[in-house]
Chain A
Amino acid sequence: ELKVEQNPLFLSMQEGKNYTIYCNYSTTSDRLYWYRQDPGKSLESLFVLLSNGAVKQEGRLMASLDTKARLSTLHITAAVHDLSATYFCAVAVSGGGSNYKLTFGKGTLLTVNP
């Protein structure tokens, strides 16, 4: 059974600081997703990482994937209050044929304080 572990689960940081969220998973996969969720809202796609060594950046967020270590990171640079949200990683596993399903981590609740 695929397990996806995120840490930390709770992160309180000051504006302007840097930090990294980690996502470890237990079985082979070459596709990893990062999502953002605001309170009471649905999920917003941030990044899709498709291969070993993939790195993607959008604004103050940068995600990377190491499939050999089964590890993805989401790095936050110079945090601002608007980044406060819950961040999920999700790992894709084949459901047969061209289908696949996602297994999610429990999420990291990020609070950025002034």
Chain B
Amino acid sequence: DGGITQSPKYLFRKEGQNVTLSCEQNLNHDAMYWYRQDPGQGLRLIYYSQIVNDFQKGDIAEGYSVSREKKESFPLTVTSAQKNPTAFYLCATRQTGTYEQYFGPGTRLTVT
């Protein structure tokens, strides 16, 4: 069963706690992306990675961190430094040399 999995679907945390969102893919795609979506808004890019052990900041990287130790996995940590972490987080992948980005099902994070 190929695709992109994000877990969990819903995540609740207390303010001040770090939380890690999972993104796993078995599409053998090289590039992976993390986006954030707020209600009534478009997606904003947090981080992206073209290859293993390399990643770049997107437009809103402050308060987030990522790692890319394996091609299949690109976890996102939302740190306590992120002032407004409650949002819908979407992971996407793309194969090098192609133009399509494929999106995972998303994780809805609520921080209270």
Binding site for B on A (CB under 8 A): 4, 31, 33, 41-45, 48, 50, 88, 90, 92, 95-99, 101-107
User: Are B101 and A45 closer than 8 Å at their CB atoms?
Assistant: yes
Taking the complex as formed, is B42 at the interface, i.e. its CB lies under 8 A from any CB of chain A?
Answer: yes
Taking the complex as formed, is B48 at the interface, i.e. its CB lies under 8 A from any CB of chain A?
Answer: yes
Return chain A residues, CB-CB under 8 Å to B31: 99
User: Are B42 and A104 closer than 8 Å at their CB atoms?
Assistant: yes
Return chain B residues, CB-CB under 8 Å to A103: 45, 59
Measured CB to CB, the closest approach of chain B to A26, in angstroms, equals 14
Chain A, interface SS category: strand
Return chain B residues, CB-CB under 8 Å to A4: 42
Known: A99-B31, A107-B42. A42 touches B104 (CB 8 A): yes
Known: A42-B90, A43-B90. A98 touches B42 (CB 8 A): no
Contact with A along B75-97 (1 / 0, CB 8 A): 00000000000000010000011
Taking the complex as formed, is B40 at the interface, i.e. its CB lies under 8 A from any CB of chain A?
Answer: yes
Return chain A residues, CB-CB under 8 Å to B43: 43, 88, 90, 102, 104
Binding site for A on B (CB under 8 A): 31, 33, 40-45, 48, 50, 56, 58-59, 90, 96-97, 99-106
User: Are A106 and B33 closer than 8 Å at their CB atoms?
Assistant: no
Partner of A105, one of B33, B42, B58, B100: B42
Cα–Cα, bound, A98→B97 (Å)? 7
Q: Which of B44, B97, B101, B102 has the most CB of A within 10 A?
A: B101
Cα–Cα, bound, A33→B50 (Å)? 20
